[in-house]
Structure 1
Amino acid sequence: MSGLSLAGFISPVIGNLTFLREVDFSHNKLQGSIPREVGHLKRLVYLSLKFNHLNGEIPEELSNCSNLQEIAFTANNITGEIPVSLGDMKNLINLHLAYNLLIGGIPASLGNISTLKVLSLEQNKLKGTIPSSLGKLSNLEHMYIGTNKLSRSVPPVHNFSSLLVLDAAVNQLSGNFPPEIGCTFPNLEAIFIGLNQLTGEIPRSISNISSLELFDIALNGFTGSVPKNMGNLRNLLVLTISGNYLGSGKPGDLSFLSSLSNCSRLQSLGINYNHLYGVIPDSIANFSIWLEELFMGDNQIIGRIPQGIGNLINLDLMEMKGTFIAGEIPISIGNLQNLEGLYLGFNHLSGKIPSSIGNLSRLSDLNLSNNKFAGAIPLSLKQCTNLQKLDLSTNNLNGSIPYQLFGAFERLIYLNLSYNSFTGSLPSDMRNMKNLVEFYVHNNNFHGEIPMTLGESLELTTLFMRKNSFHVPSLNLLPPLRSLENLDLSNNNLSGTIPPELQKLPFLVRLNLSFNQLEGEVPKKGVFKNATGFSFFGNKNLCGGIPKIQLPKCFSEKPKEKGKARRGTFMPSSLFDNSCLRLSYKELLECTHGFASSNLIGTGSFGSVYKGVLYQHEKPLAVKVLNLRNHGAARSFIAECKALRKIRHRNLLKIITSCSSIDYQGNEFKALVFEFMPNGSLESRLHEQNDQSRYLNFAQSRFWIGKALVYRHKQYWKRSNKFLSDQGNNWLQYGMSLSVSPEGDIYSYGIMLLEMITGRRPTCDLFHDGLSLHNFCKMALQEGLKEIFDVHLVEEIGLILGTINPKWSVQVLEFVGH
């Protein structure tokens, strides 16, 4: 009743069928435990319950079936220990308990079953030692005890003359392999003891087992040399000694290879991951013509790849990575037309990639990375239309990617061209690589736009393009890549804003946009909501994002509603045109020496002004830092930015940029940056200069300020903290807290003229109890102008006028005398 998709449980009433000789319920969907009543079937010879879903323990009563010759419980979920009573079954020939969940040790009683030929216990959870009693099984032909947790050393045996297959791989066996193995196992055909902890040398007697076809001791701790007479194993099909410590690191370690030319049936040779030193002998050309797999990598192999490698025409996998092999790849490599995998990475190979590789039409995996190859990728490679993985990274390859090359790789899933010197743009025929999953072109000299055809690679999860010169007019023109998990576009020439569509990519977990020319708002969702998931350094014009990344807030110039600003609006941190210098809080902090008092130029109601010099800039700057604790300072900053964006006049001091950010204490920071003029403030020019300079200031300021007022008739200006050039002054008020009008401009201009004439400040102690500078001068119109004139200024004016006309000087002095 095998393979009938039977389900349910095995009924205990089966025990009533006492005349049953064979029961085969294999390859069904039976579940539950094996009923104890099976022990009533005394005539039973064959019991197969393999490949079901049975659980529970093996019933002790099973040993009552003394005529059983075969028990097959393979591939179930049977638990518990192997019953010791099974050792009483004197007629048992085959015991199959593999691929279950059995625990405990191997019962020593099994050594009593002298008729046993097959003992299959692999893929369980058995532990303990291999019982020495198993050595009594003189008829045993197949012993499968691999993939358990068996430990300690392999016991010496002297009566396994019938054993054909020994599989004890993937355990925790230790100690030396029995040196007498070649004598006690004379008929062995297969030895699998890989993935244990065995040590010592490979027994020299192994070469006596002339019937040996498979010898696998990989991933142990074997040391010493490989027996030179391994060629005596004429029937050898597979020789795997990989992953040990074989070899002395001296010439001669590879001499055993020459003897293997006698193994005319050899199909697979694995000597990789050892300490073998030396040159690959030319005799490798005489290896079996049936050789399909050759693993030699991660050794201390020197010299070149022999030209005779081309004789191994049935090779489908050749691995020589991680050695010291140098020179060029022999042209004869093109003879290996059955080759599917070629791994030559991490060597010292040089020269050009031979065009004969194009003959390898079955090639699916080509790895030439980390060598010294130069020149261009041969166009003949396009003939390898079955390529799925191509790695040419970390070489000296150059030139552009040949057109039609990518178009041939419709099956490609992995492409790595990184760390070379490729130039030009990526070809548009990338559209054919629809199955591409990983694409690496970083650290090259590519330029041009990222091709939109890349968007047809719908399976693409990883795209690394950093350190090139790629550009796109806008990141919004990036191809749609819905499966992306890792995207690195750092160190390119990308500009524009970060498209919000990136936050909608459902699988994107790593994003690097650092060191480009991006600006505007950083999104907050998707990959952008995790500060460790994306990088944006080196883009000075970004704002917004989640608070943890500490970018300046984004503001907007949207119109107000009913006199109130709207919330959630957007304005770039630089509030002027795109040509403005972009400065960060850090740069302003450094250029003013930490806003040091020695750099302080002046203070006002809304902030302080500092002199600063930017790194690699010759001209100094004037940095106005707003005191945001003052009521209305933040509003004044935005209002002034609006005004300064629109003003361009030669008599108004040039605004350079603004900065809206967060300082190192997490406080909001706002500043305006102007050209620095060394002539001081208007107040100092009017009141702290010598008399002659004051007269010149009087003449110049009156003229240039008047012209500026004509231009700026809608702005309100303020005297303190303005910086004069030789032609003019900045008459914009930072505060903007008062309403402005042309009348107000004219009135303020008049007050400034009165300051010039009288030499008095509006804040002079003389003015109190309702008396102001304006009223003071107004009363003088009736009582006498000479009472209000600055005498020293008038005298200086007279002396200067005397150089032009002596009469003018006398008239002025007479006025002063009166």
Structure 2
Amino acid sequence: MAIRWACLLLLPTTSMFFSTLPAADADDEAALLAFKAAAIGGTSDVLASWNGSTDGGYCNWEGVRCQGRHRRVVALSLPSHGLTGVLSPAVGNLSSLRLLNLSSNWFISGGIPASLGRLHHLHILDLSNNAFSGDIPANLSSCTDLMFMALRSNQLRGRVPPEFGDELTRLMILDLWNNSLTGVIPVSLANLSSLTYLVLVQNCLEGTIPPGLGSIRGLQVLLVDENNLSGEPPNSLYNLSSLKMLDLRGNMLHGSIPADIGSKFPNMKFLSFATNQFTGSIPASLSNLTTLRILFLEQNRLSGYVPPPLGMLRALQTLYLYDNMLQANDKEGWEFITSLTNCSQLEQLVMHSNVAFTGQMPCSIVNLSQTMQMLSVGFNGISGSLPSDIGNLVNLQIFSAANTSISGEIPESIGKLGNLGSLSLYNTNFSGIIPSSIGNLSQLTKLYADNCNLEGAIPSSLGKLKSLTLLDLSRNHLNGSIPKELFKLPVISIYLALSHNSLSGPLPSEVGNLRNLNSLYLSGNLLSGEIPENIGDCTVLQELFLDSNSFQGSIPHTLKNVKGLNALNLSMNKLSGTIPDAIGSIHDLQVLYLAHNNLSGPIPSLLQNLTSLSELDLSFNNLQGEVPKGGVFRYLGNLSLTGNNNLCGGIPQLHLAPCHIYSTKNGIKGWFRSVMIALVATSALLFLALGIAHIQFIYKKLTRNQKRRIAPLKLEEGYERVSYNMLANGTNGFSEANLLGKGRFGMVYKCNYQDEGTIAAVKVFNLEQSGSTRSFVAECEALRRVRHRCLIKIITCCSSINHQGQEFKALVFEFMPNGSLSDWLHPKSGMPTVTNTLSLAQRLDISVDIMDALDYLHNHCQPSIIHCDLKPSNILLAEDMSARVGDFGISRILPERESKTLQNSNSTIGIRGSIGYVAPEYGEGSSVSALGDVYSLGILLLEMFTGRSPTDDMFTGSLDLHKFSEDALPERIWEIVDTKMWLHTDAYDETTRSRIEN
């Protein structure tokens, strides 16, 4: 957006563009109608008004402007109208066109027509933020009057046409950001003497930066970051005294930063050499760039001391120095911190991962600007103590001193940092007690203080951290009991880790309040008493580690309620009794450790049916009886039964004594299977017959009978907020090849996240679409509160600025390899139908998962959340075909007083939901409630088992999907069921098969 506005300031007045035009033979109306026919769709249906009934004819069509006595079209401007289709070559017949702006429609695809080269009077061409592909037509160079060309954020490939530099001599703006262009930067671009903005960000360009670019005297913005450029930047580049923005980051450039750079760019505001291979020292002359606001020098090989004169940069807001080889010690090198206290606008100082930063933490750090929001000094050799006046930095939002040798106590004044959201003190030598003042950090979401030397009791004031989602105090010397207040933290969800301390006493029964928690780590303490039964109320736990304590009593049967539990470790306690069969109903269990207890009785045979169970340790107990032979019991490498002397049987490799064998008729197994198939089939018909009125009844039945599923792919938690560059790299510049789907507020891409081999899904919001920012905030707010195996898991978010200075917002989710439920119910053209078919059993499992999620959102999440947009495209399928409910962009969080009744006060936000699924009462002005979600669920279930969308063309007048299904019951049930769900099952006999086929 910044570049676009700058362009408007630089271009001549519109009177120059739209002067009286000569007559021409081209039929402008015919060209516009051809454009309409090719550019189908549009959220505002703008093209529907393009017809012969419009007063004044085509010159009064929206987005069209004419000039002159011949009524020639001089402007076609339809940005952000949701147009789809392709750009018709007929637009090239609008021979008087001065302005063509189709930006931010997002879905216009196909190639850029070469016929645009015939628009010899064109001044502005803006096709940004669409899905254009193919090469950039070289004959656009024939548009010799062009001043503004923006083709950013498409899927264009091939080279940057060298012809541009030879012909477009009036060009002032050239923006090709975020495509897949290859080859070199054409040397001919040096001929563009009028150029002020050259933006080639995020492509695949290679080679060196042409020295001739240094001859474009009026160049103000040069952005070539995130390419594959190499070599040294040419010396001529530093002669561009008009430059205000220079970004070279994310390439393979090398060399040193010129010592006299401070005398080269008197107007520089943004300067980045980051993520390259630059060496040498940081020039002290940088302090002469008095207008500089942002300086990125991170991730290079820079060495030496940071020059103290940087403090003369009074306008400096951001300074990144991290991941270099910079030096400082007790004798010299820390003076730059003191000098930076003169930078009254400084907001971010990031200098971690410079291992040669040693010596005492400079006390002057507390005198940095009160505008400071991010301060990172971790992963260095810094020692000493944290200054007691750290509380002076009252606007600090992120503070990290992790992985340092800092010692002493955590200052009490840290409680003054009321805006702090993340505090990282892990892997340090902090000692003493945890100050109770930390409880004042009302905005704190993550507190990492593990692997330190902290001692004493955990202050109960931590229970006041109402925004906390993660707390890690493990591997310290803490003692006393666990404060009950910790178990009342309302939104703690990622993990609570208190392992390897000296905590004692019982585990408070309040642990059952942690209904949103994903992981609980209490290993290696002195905890005693029984494990509370209500730990089964922690229904979204994925990891529970209570090992190496002194817990007694039996294993709670209520653990069966924790359906998504992946890892359970109760080893090295004093537990007794039998292993409850309930453990065998935890379908997603992957790791089970019960070693070194006093457990007795048989090994539950149900454990062998857990297809996801990959590690099992039952050693050193008093177990007896036959060892099962299936599942994990077949693999010696993942199984430990040592120290149980009364076990028998099992696979031969265990070398156990044989057991007494009792025969069982083979027919029983077949009979049982037939009965189960019949029950599954009957349940499917019940969905259709009972509809919405009996959803809760069906939910209870199916929950008891749902099939066991393979555990879903697990993504790691706790990522820090991700950068824009990382997402752009992981999606190959948000390329079409990585596009997973398109929605109302943006697009979703497949992303190789953080170069760690982890695949994620990135939802990029179209901030030019009305309501998209509100949707981003709503989704962040909803997802940070919830933790459930049947809800899409958010990994992190990105709220940043792209390379053009535009706001950028995105969410990163776990990747769902099997797409959406909509993809399976209604396969797209060309998709093999049989392959993309859901069996009856799969549909039942998916139904249960959806209802599990809604039950959690409505009844167990505090406060309750109303989804408001339940439909197949928002139900995503994991690798094992288990379902995740996603897209909380229009969800509503009910205030606590409303959550109890699941009602809401009158809403003024209008209808929430999608056509066909939205509850009828919303259209009458009723408030958002759980009943609205239940209605949408009912329609969704009918769609799943009939295979018909509620927006199908067959539904007209008073006929809708609900009435269609109701009218068919019971006699014509076989006429409306989706017969495709029988393709992968033998759950019907020949008579049934005949009825379906006929």
TM exceeding 0.5: yes
Separation in structure 2 between the aligned mates of residue 313 and residue 148 of structure 1, nearest angstrom: 39
1:73 aligns with 2:151: yes
Separation in structure 2 between the aligned mates of residue 138 and residue 311 of structure 1, nearest angstrom: 45
Q: 3-state SS of the aligned residue for 2:341?
A: helix
The match for 2:234 is 155
Q: 3-state SS of the aligned residue for 1:494?
A: strand
Letter paired with 2:450: S
Letter paired with 2:628: G
CA gap 1:136/1:522 in 2 versus in 1, 3 angstroms: farther
Q: 3-state SS of the aligned residue for 2:266?
A: coil
Q: CA deviation at 1:279?
A: 1.6
The match for 2:258 is 178
Unaligned residue ranges in structure 1 (runs of 5+)? 554-572, 574-581, 586-657, 673-818
The match for 2:945 is none
Q: CA deviation at 1:286?
A: 2.0
Conservation of the 8 A alpha-carbon contact between 1:422 and 1:444 = yes
The match for 2:134 is 56
Separation in structure 2 between the aligned mates of residue 251 and residue 395 of structure 1, nearest angstrom: 33
Q: 3-state SS of the aligned residue for 2:620?
A: coil
Q: 3-state SS of the aligned residue for 1:162?
A: coil
Q: For 2:181, which of 78, 99, 102 is the aligned residue?
A: 102
Write out per-residue CA displacement over residues 619-647 of structure 1, whole angstroms, 9 at most, x where no aligned residue: xxxxxxxxxxxxxxxxxxxxxxxxxxxxx
Alignment of 1:494-505 (within 5 A): 494-505=575-586
Conservation of the 8 A alpha-carbon contact between 1:87 and 1:112 = yes
Alignment of 1:297-376 (within 5 A): 297-376=378-457
Letter paired with 2:145: N
The match for 2:499 is 418
TM-score by length of 2: 0.55
Q: CA deviation at 1:170?
A: 1.5
Q: CA deviation at 1:500?
A: 3.6
- Greater mean alpha carbon deviation, residues 208-217 or residues 172-181: 172-181
Separation in structure 2 between the aligned mates of residue 363 and residue 666 of structure 1, nearest angstrom: 52
The match for 1:144 is 223
Q: CA deviation at 1:448?
A: 2.0
CA gap 1:518/1:475 in 2 versus in 1, 3 angstroms: farther
Conservation of the 8 A alpha-carbon contact between 2:108 and 2:132 = yes
The match for 2:376 is 295
TM-score by length of 1: 0.67
Aligned residues: 573
Separation in structure 2 between the aligned mates of residue 509 and residue 531 of structure 1, nearest angstrom: 4
Write out per-residue CA displacement over residues 755-775 of structure 1, whole angstroms, 9 at most, x where no aligned residue: xxxxxxxxxxxxxxxxxxxxx
Separation in structure 2 between the aligned mates of residue 423 and residue 56 of structure 1, nearest angstrom: 67
Alignment of 1:97-246 (within 5 A): 97-157=176-236, 158-246=238-326
Separation in structure 2 between the aligned mates of residue 536 and residue 93 of structure 1, nearest angstrom: 73
Separation in structure 1 between the aligned mates of residue 653 and residue 518 of structure 2, nearest angstrom: 44
Q: 3-state SS of the aligned residue for 1:3?
A: coil
The match for 1:436 is 517
Q: CA deviation at 1:250?
A: 5.5
Write out per-residue CA displacement over residues 586-641 of structure 1, whole angstroms, 9 at most, x where no aligned residue: xxxxxxxxxxxxxxxxxxxxxxxxxxxxxxxxxxxxxxxxxxxxxxxxxxxxxxxx
The match for 1:536 is 618
Separation in structure 2 between the aligned mates of residue 61 and residue 173 of structure 1, nearest angstrom: 32
The match for 2:109 is 31
Write out per-residue CA displacement over residues 124-155 of structure 1, whole angstroms, 9 at most, x where no aligned residue: 11122222221112211111111111122222
Letter paired with 1:422: L
Conservation of the 8 A alpha-carbon contact between 2:584 and 2:604 = no
CA gap 1:314/1:526 in 2 versus in 1, 3 angstroms: farther
The higher relative CO (CA closer than 8 Å, separation ≥ 6) is in: 2
Q: CA deviation at 1:421?
A: 0.6
CA gap 1:376/1:665 in 2 versus in 1, 3 angstroms: closer
Q: CA deviation at 1:163?
A: 0.7
1:262 aligns with 2:342: yes
Q: For 1:279, which of 360, 372, 376 is the aligned residue?
A: 360
The match for 2:327 is 247
Conservation of the 8 A alpha-carbon contact between 2:125 and 2:149 = yes
CA gap 1:496/1:104 in 2 versus in 1, 3 angstroms: farther
Q: 3-state SS of the aligned residue for 2:235?
A: coil
The match for 1:545 is 628
**Greater radius of gyration (CA):** 1
Q: CA deviation at 1:495?
A: 2.8
Letter paired with 2:406: I
CA gap 1:548/1:362 in 2 versus in 1, 3 angstroms: closer
Q: 3-state SS of the aligned residue for 2:117?
A: helix
Q: CA deviation at 1:387?
A: 0.8
Letter paired with 1:516: N
Separation in structure 2 between the aligned mates of residue 87 and residue 550 of structure 1, nearest angstrom: 70
Q: 3-state SS of the aligned residue for 1:78?
A: strand
The match for 2:545 is 464
Q: Pairwise CA RMSD of aligned residues?
A: 2.6
Separation in structure 1 between the aligned mates of residue 599 and residue 231 of structure 2, nearest angstrom: 64
Q: 3-state SS of the aligned residue for 2:135?
A: coil
Letter paired with 1:68: L
Q: CA deviation at 1:112?
A: 1.4
Q: 3-state SS of the aligned residue for 2:189?
A: helix
Write out per-residue CA displacement over residues 743-790 of structure 1, whole angstroms, 9 at most, x where no aligned residue: xxxxxxxxxxxxxxxxxxxxxxxxxxxxxxxxxxxxxxxxxxxxxxxx
1:8 aligns with 2:85: yes
The match for 1:398 is 479
1:21 aligns with 2:98: yes
Q: For 2:657, which of 666, 669, 682 is the aligned residue?
A: 669
Q: For 1:476, which of 530, 533, 557 is the aligned residue?
A: 557
Letter paired with 2:444: L
Letter paired with 1:435: N
Separation in structure 2 between the aligned mates of residue 30 and residue 256 of structure 1, nearest angstrom: 51
Write out per-residue CA displacement over residues 68-114 of structure 1, whole angstroms, 9 at most, x where no aligned residue: 01111111111111111111211111111111111112111112111
- Greater mean alpha carbon deviation, residues 179-188 or residues 659-668: 659-668
Separation in structure 2 between the aligned mates of residue 515 and residue 583 of structure 1, nearest angstrom: 9
Q: For 1:384, which of 436, 447, 465 is the aligned residue?
A: 465
Q: 3-state SS of the aligned residue for 2:246?
A: strand
Separation in structure 1 between the aligned mates of residue 225 and residue 558 of structure 2, nearest angstrom: 57
Separation in structure 2 between the aligned mates of residue 32 and residue 552 of structure 1, nearest angstrom: 53
The match for 1:488 is 569
Separation in structure 2 between the aligned mates of residue 48 and residue 401 of structure 1, nearest angstrom: 61
Q: CA deviation at 1:287?
A: 1.2
Q: CA deviation at 1:667?
A: 5.4
Separation in structure 2 between the aligned mates of residue 476 and residue 230 of structure 1, nearest angstrom: 64
Separation in structure 1 between the aligned mates of residue 287 and residue 100 of structure 2, nearest angstrom: 44
Q: 3-state SS of the aligned residue for 2:488?
A: helix
> Percent identity between the aligned chains?
38
Write out per-residue CA displacement over residues 339-365 of structure 1, whole angstroms, 9 at most, x where no aligned residue: 111111111111111111111111111
Separation in structure 2 between the aligned mates of residue 227 and residue 453 of structure 1, nearest angstrom: 59
The match for 2:730 is none
Q: CA deviation at 1:325?
A: 0.9
Separation in structure 2 between the aligned mates of residue 526 and residue 445 of structure 1, nearest angstrom: 33
Conservation of the 8 A alpha-carbon contact between 1:506 and 1:526 = no
Separation in structure 1 between the aligned mates of residue 612 and residue 463 of structure 2, nearest angstrom: 42
Letter paired with 1:426: L
Q: 3-state SS of the aligned residue for 2:85?
A: strand
Q: CA deviation at 1:264?
A: 1.0
Alignment of 1:651-690 (within 5 A): 660=648, 669=657
Q: CA deviation at 1:492?
A: 1.8
